[in-house]
Structure formats: C-alpha cells, structure tokens
A and B are shown apart, each in its own frame.
Chain A
Amino acid sequence: EVQLVESGGGLVQPGRSLRLSCIASGFTLGDYTLSWIRQAPGEGLEWVGFIRTKAQGGITEYAASVKDRFIFSRDDSKNIAYLQMNSLKTEDSAVYFCTRDGTRSGDLDNWGQGTLVTVSS
C-alpha cells in the first residue's frame, strides 16, 4: 500500500525555520516527482512546488510566494523527502501535504495526511 507520512509541523515564530519530513512507503520514492501542497485553515489548496526525480535532474520549482525561502530535497535511499522552510511568515500557516505525482498529467495520486504549521509570535 502506498503511504506518505508527513511530520515536523508545529508552532514557530515569524522569521524562524522549520523542516518537514515526508516518509514514503509501498513504492520506490526515487521513481516519482514529489509535490508539496498547503492549505490554510478554512481555505483552498495552494501548490507550493515540486522536486523531480534524480533521473529528471532533481529539478525543483517553487511557487512565487515561497521561492528563495523554501527548499525541497530528497533522500531516495531512505525514502524520505524534506521541505526546509526558512524566514517563515504568518501567511505560511497551513496544513502541508506531501503528494506523489501520478506521472500522467501532473496529477497527485497519493497524499499524506498533512502536518500543521502555525507561524505566530
């Protein structure tokens, strides 16, 4: 069974950093692009960005709202992906989901349960 499990969320002050982890099981992480999606409380879904496979050059793309502050990485040998969030702002408060790209049309065919990040002083 394909599973994605996020961890690392919590309460953090503005300007600080936080690293989220996404542990994959039931499939070979290295074969898939991983995307991060966030959802502020009571709001819709927002694409944060993705990290392609190493075979695809490990290319990363980011939403403008997080570019130069967030960094995606992956350790395929451990089946873990990371989202390093720096210089956090209150508007980054959201549930963060890691998702697997289904490779057909940028579809996100498996989602983690999400981890809540709250940025507040």
Chain B
Amino acid sequence: DIQMTQSPSSLSASVGDRVTITCRASQSISSYLNWYQQKPGKAPSLLIYKASGLQSGVPSRFSGSGSGTDFTLTISSLQPEDFAAYYCQQAGSTPWTFGQGTKVEIK
C-alpha cells in the first residue's frame, strides 16, 4: 500500500498568513493526488484534484503543486473560514489512501 505522510499534523496561523501543507507518498503516484478540507461535524469537500486542478467554486487562494512523491497545498492568504482540517488522498493505485490530516488553527 502507498503511505501518505502529511506535515505538519497541526499548525497555528493568523488571518492573512501564507500556509503550506506538504504530503509525501511512499512511491510515485504521478499526479493522482487530491486535497480536501473538512470542517468540524461536516463532510470533507474537494479543494484540489490531480495535484494542481482547482475544484469549481473553490477560492483561488488555494493552490496545489507537485508530482511523483512530493506535493504541496498552499493557502496564499488565510481567511477565517479556512480554519479546518486538510487531507491529501492518493489515487495512483488501490487501496486509495489518505494522509493523516493537518489541522489549521487560529493563532
């Protein structure tokens, strides 16, 4: 199985900060990497597909990059509604696997 390692597991940031979350796959997954946001008590929602594609309706302050084994989710200017948990997911091969999550908290 492909292991997905996300870092950091949590971070504290202020509104307006630039935030970067990384995800590393244990083997190459090409660009089959997706990012999700989950707010407490809610279902996750898709932010980024295929490493860098912005899902319809998602603000442009979210961006993704990377290929192979190393990927990054960037929030260019953190907004109050962005405080949430973020997960990466690989679909390069089954079983699809998720990173353990990154919780973004208010500083």
* Chain A contacts to B: CB under 8 angstroms: 35, 37, 44-47, 49, 61, 63-64, 97, 102, 104-114
Question: For the complex, what is the distance from the CA of A110 to the CA of B43, rounded to whole Å?
Answer: 9
Judge whether A46 and B98 touch: CB under 8 Å.
Answer: yes
Judge whether A44 and B100 touch: CB under 8 Å.
Answer: yes
Question: For the complex, what is the distance from the CA of A113 to the CA of B94, rounded to whole Å?
Answer: 24
Q: Which residue of B lies closest to A114 (CB)?
A: B43
> Can you list 20 A-B pairs, Cβ within 8 angstroms, ordered by A?
A45-B36, A45-B38, A45-B44, A45-B87, A45-B98, A47-B96, A49-B95, A64-B95, A97-B44, A102-B46, A102-B49, A104-B49, A104-B53, A105-B32, A105-B53, A106-B90, A106-B91, A108-B44, A109-B46, A111-B45
Judge whether B89 and A63 touch: CB under 8 Å.
Answer: no
| Chain A hits for B92, CB < 8 A | 106
**B20 proximal to A (CB < 8 A):** no
A118 to chain B, nearest CB (A): 17
Count of B interface residues, CB-CB < 8 Å: 29
* Chain B contacts to A: CB under 8 angstroms: 31-34, 36, 38, 42-46, 49-51, 53, 55, 87, 89-92, 94-101
Q: Which 8 A-B pairs have the closest CB atoms?
A: A106-B91, A107-B49, A105-B50, A111-B43, A47-B96, A107-B34, A45-B98, A44-B101
State the main secondary structure of chain B at its contact with A: loop
B95 to chain A, nearest CB (A): 5
Question: For the complex, what is the distance from the CA of A104 to the CA of B53, rounded to whole Å?
Answer: 10
A63 to chain B, nearest CB (A): 5
A45-B98, A64-B95 known; A105+B44 contact, CB < 8 A: no
Judge whether A45 and B43 touch: CB under 8 Å.
Answer: no
Q: Which residue of A lies closest to B38 (CB)?
A: A45
Judge whether A107 and B50 touch: CB under 8 Å.
Answer: yes
| Chain A hits for B44, CB < 8 A | 37, 45, 97, 108, 111
Question: For the complex, what is the distance from the CA of A45 to the CA of B33, rounded to whole Å?
Answer: 15
